[in-house]
Structure 1
């Protein structure tokens, strides 16, 4: 993720030698750049008090360009044109203070959790900034979460209040059980229209955080059940990100498109980085291609950060050549991306020659002329990891290496593959992926027992099954709950999905592989639920299965016992963050072979 960069001289040469004329928007930006000077960014790397609870104030303190817009929201006007609105660091501080005044007037105090259920974009970030400035704990909720799950989650957190775009259904749920009702349930528009001069802020505003103060609660995707509530701590969520101040691409011409959900740790992580760098960033409120591509064409990003969900859409069908013309880097985190999608995206854009290796320092990188195509940085991370802790770089000329997530980043003290007793297994042996890093979460809110289940032999278990090769590269094979237990031994779903998406790309747009019960004595059997390419929409499931199994047999992998074609969105269920809900697929097909 943020630990990749171009050598400064390579970036300058790349810009100078670019075959494209500068875009008018780029020229306007370069005349008054919002980017913090390198000396200021280096100063941030050493600030002992800096953390996730006060990064905006530190950015304002060191950046002489604090009044220049850097964070952009977007909307479409009545003519269908994309309109970008810029906000400077000082603008964000003023909005934060208005929101904080409302929260303070409504009784919010340090340490209290508050539920925030607002649409994606800058809004969840503003609520995060306001609540942390009061020392409170924002519990950010993706508004795509199923409503009944949302209520259970907020009750588990024990929020003292809820702010939502549309609080009607939430209020109705609490009328059914008034004992659970928080102190307030308010409409977000009420805060946006609040007169900040009508109430005071506390004398010690903004709040001064201790290093281990909890500054945010992030729910999991729910792919394995009811969402967990991961704690972000003030210093912990900043630890490991310091090298980004010097090494993340932040030249005057660089622009970031953030497609991460900003109710998620990934979105907050990228926004924290962008704010400290003063890096021009469009904060997207929608991840669908129909919305993303017009904004790409208007903003002309050099970097795009997303979960795999949008990359799947951008890599499907006609490539977004115009919108991605200036892209040199794609950043993926959360679930690992699939090579079948990555290899199409890296055909787009332009980048320096010499791939950037995360384990080399900038002065060790080679400065070379521009090459066609871009690089895809696939970072394996999670809210619990605090950031992407493994990284793999793919460019057009990179050899295929299925499921490789690269080496650990410099934020990792130790990475290992363990057996169930916490003993490290030999290279090449599959086991539980485990890490030690200062960026790791303090644990799960109100659930120390659950926290303890992820701790083993002094490591944090990421919830993944992996192996390491003799050269120190790690390979991500599956989530632990998704391993398919067949009578012949464990089968891992992700390598199968990799083959379907790369070797059956003319048929398969996206897919999800799960294990379902076979007949007594058969164990589980692997099946695939697939979305077809438009040109293959009329194919029968048996035809897709035949092509898939031929490719899988050629790769030496287990073949599929069945294929189901998802012809509607409901047949390919996604969670709030865009991950396929494999647990729902397992339930749906639980009796496929048993007939019970």
Structure 2
């Protein structure tokens, strides 16, 4: 058996028991209302030079809920939220819940085809979106008549602040388009009124969060109120956060990390959430200096960009007492470099859209071990109430140390995918999530992520996991970012190719990097091809898009291994 057991050094872990939630906190709305009652004057959102208190957030979301209900929104209906990291996103969530419905979190980078798919798939009855996104994209999608959207409410990134930072904020504010309602105007008209509706139940859908689609068509994970509550509590109890803390909102709010580890956590704690519309390293660094937040969780790519932007990193990052990173693997060399520059050790955390973010994490104050064989940094140990197993291809548990697919069960796991019964049955047999991530557990209970199951490269019958090759290449001083994929090869079937971006001012020829890898790993693993690129393509959450790289044609700067291709 490799099911996680109690470890003596983790005294506060309760095997098989979830984080203890308050009796009145079985929905996200109950969680928020308890915070309003406890601290109505506490700042809930810091947005550039603007502040929104918990009480004001309550009033604004009441107004939105009233507008939705007056427009025909009914219990169980969906409000699509197509907004950046703005106060409007949080108001949209709360307004949907207060109207008895659910929110649909939509990536604001999505274009017309993607937006239409998500609106149609979710059956959203209403849409809250940025005025600029409505003008440029959503208006034509709605006009085409292939969605169920009946009500459109627009908001502006200029609302709730007065600084108008032109690096990230569009100016001027756009007037409300024909056929749409303006959120700020509606809040003023309905200020002080409360909606009368049956509140959501624990098993009701709170948010449909769509998978990133890096391995196929996006599916809507049904994040219920209760599974989200457990995700929020796991963050709070694992990290020991209190209302005296504040959260730096680096992760996109539409993503499960931002949704639970930023918005949900701050609603639970009644503590400030610092937002900057979108991730811009210099703007985010200004917010870090000005508002002095104490906690953040973000993709490693975003954290390293912040460190690169700072000319006084130790000083700039000094308010952050807890930093976690998830969404993409961390190479040990990258973590070491970040700590050397900022003085902060990044704790690993692991989770999925389908688990309301965290299932594993490095305990606060501990350092994640590095597997001596693969060089992978541990993703941590299971959080409260989480049961994690490693399964072979037949669905049987692997022995300790053996590589297989990570499977997870626990109170934070969603019940399935929206309107996808067959895919739900395949991904959640018996309610246990088959993650598609390949990894193993060591004898001390630490879990390691090897790679995505679908990203494995088969080179002449040998299995090559991109993550191991990437971690090795990250130790080369010239490399800034790297992604490894398998590409067709007439001799091997597949061969290993690395896409590399270099550190500012650094130079390295593809042949040099091939030779470096060849000198440090088995012959079947090292990349035969290296392509130097300016930037690697990423999702909005900072996850590198390997599939896009696999499908891209070779560019200048590709260096094949010339001499011993068949070794």
TM-score tier by shorter-chain length is 0.7 to 0.9
Aligned to 1:167, what secondary structure does the other structure show? Answer: helix
RMSD over aligned Cα atoms: 2.9
**What is aligned with 1:261?**
252
Residues 1:288 and 2:284 are matched in the alignment = no
- Partners of 2:479 and 2:129 in 1: CA distance: 38
- Asked if 1 retains the 8 angstrom alpha-carbon contact of 2:368 and 2:378, the reply is no
**What is aligned with 2:159?**
none
Pick one of 15, 31, 51 that aligns with 1:86: 51
Q: Displacement, 1:314?
A: 2.8
Q: Displacement, 1:267?
A: 1.3
- Partners of 1:44 and 1:121 in 2: CA distance: 31
**What is aligned with 2:301?**
309
Superposed counterparts of 1:375-454, under 5 Å: 375-392=345-362, 400-401=370-371, 402-412=376-386, 414-454=387-427
Pick one of 316, 320, 330 that aligns with 1:327: 320
Residues 1:167 and 2:142 are matched in the alignment = no
**What is aligned with 1:99?**
64
Aligned to 1:384, what secondary structure does the other structure show? Answer: helix
- Partners of 1:167 and 1:199 in 2: CA distance: 25
Classify 1:185/1:411 alpha carbon distance in 2 versus 1 (closer, same or farther; 3 Å): same
**What is aligned with 2:543?**
579
Classify 1:124/1:297 alpha carbon distance in 2 versus 1 (closer, same or farther; 3 Å): same
Q: Displacement, 1:287?
A: 2.1
**What is aligned with 1:25?**
none
- Partners of 2:410 and 2:316 in 1: CA distance: 37
- Partners of 2:340 and 2:319 in 1: CA distance: 12
Deviations 1:280-328 (A, max 9, x none): 3313422231221111111222222212231231344756232102322
Classify 1:172/1:246 alpha carbon distance in 2 versus 1 (closer, same or farther; 3 Å): closer
- Asked if 2 retains the 8 angstrom alpha-carbon contact of 1:403 and 1:475, the reply is yes
Aligned to 1:580, what secondary structure does the other structure show? Answer: coil
**What is aligned with 2:229?**
238
**What is aligned with 1:110?**
75
**What is aligned with 2:213?**
222
The size of the alignment, in residue pairs, is 506
Q: Displacement, 1:249?
A: 3.9
Pick one of 538, 541, 547 that aligns with 2:516: 547
- Partners of 1:394 and 1:223 in 2: CA distance: 31
- Partners of 2:229 and 2:216 in 1: CA distance: 29
Q: State which drifts further: 423-432 or 50-59.
A: 50-59
Q: Displacement, 1:255?
A: 3.0
When normalised by structure 1's length, the TM-score is: 0.78
Unaligned runs of 5+ in 2: 1-9, 11-18, 157-181, 561-567
Superposed counterparts of 1:136-535, under 5 Å: 136-165=101-130, 166-168=133-135, 169-175=137-143, 177-180=144-147, 182-188=149-155, 190-194=182-186, 197=189, 204-205=196-197, 207-239=198-230, 241-242=232-233, 245=236, 248-250=239-241, 254-270=245-261, 271-316=263-308, 320-347=313-340, 373-392=343-362, 400-401=370-371, 402-412=376-386, 414-456=387-429, 459-501=432-474, 503-504=475-476, 506-519=477-490, 522-535=492-505
Deviations 1:543-564 (A, max 9, x none): 23223333445xx881002111
Classify 1:347/1:95 alpha carbon distance in 2 versus 1 (closer, same or farther; 3 Å): farther
Q: Displacement, 1:488?
A: 3.3
Classify 1:280/1:164 alpha carbon distance in 2 versus 1 (closer, same or farther; 3 Å): closer
- Partners of 2:383 and 2:352 in 1: CA distance: 14
- Partners of 1:455 and 1:251 in 2: CA distance: 34
Deviations 1:216-249 (A, max 9, x none): 1111222223322111101111125436555644
- Asked if 2 retains the 8 angstrom alpha-carbon contact of 1:405 and 1:474, the reply is yes
Q: Displacement, 1:379?
A: 0.7
**What is aligned with 1:354?**
none
- Asked if 2 retains the 8 angstrom alpha-carbon contact of 1:221 and 1:579, the reply is no
Q: Displacement, 1:184?
A: 3.0
Classify 1:47/1:392 alpha carbon distance in 2 versus 1 (closer, same or farther; 3 Å): same
Aligned to 1:564, what secondary structure does the other structure show? Answer: strand
**What is aligned with 1:17?**
none
Q: Displacement, 1:91?
A: 1.4
Deviations 1:431-467 (A, max 9, x none): 1100111100111111111112212465211120111
Classify 1:296/1:482 alpha carbon distance in 2 versus 1 (closer, same or farther; 3 Å): same
Q: Displacement, 1:186?
A: 4.0
Aligned to 2:64, what secondary structure does the other structure show? Answer: helix
Deviations 1:129-158 (A, max 9, x none): 101111111111110124322222221112
Aligned to 2:95, what secondary structure does the other structure show? Answer: helix
Q: Displacement, 1:182?
A: 2.5
Pick one of 42, 45, 60 that aligns with 1:68: 42
Unaligned runs of 5+ in 1: 1-6, 8-42, 75-82, 350-372
- Partners of 2:106 and 2:407 in 1: CA distance: 27
- Partners of 1:582 and 1:250 in 2: CA distance: 35
Aligned to 1:514, what secondary structure does the other structure show? Answer: strand
Pick one of 132, 144, 154 that aligns with 2:97: 132
Q: Displacement, 1:477?
A: 0.6
- Asked if 2 retains the 8 angstrom alpha-carbon contact of 1:44 and 1:245, the reply is no
**What is aligned with 2:14?**
none
Q: Displacement, 1:428?
A: 1.8
Q: Displacement, 1:199?
A: 10
Q: Displacement, 1:495?
A: 1.7
Q: Displacement, 1:522?
A: 1.6
Residues 1:57 and 2:39 are matched in the alignment = no
- Asked if 1 retains the 8 angstrom alpha-carbon contact of 2:479 and 2:503, the reply is yes
Classify 1:115/1:68 alpha carbon distance in 2 versus 1 (closer, same or farther; 3 Å): closer
Aligned to 2:469, what secondary structure does the other structure show? Answer: helix
- Asked if 2 retains the 8 angstrom alpha-carbon contact of 1:101 and 1:200, the reply is no
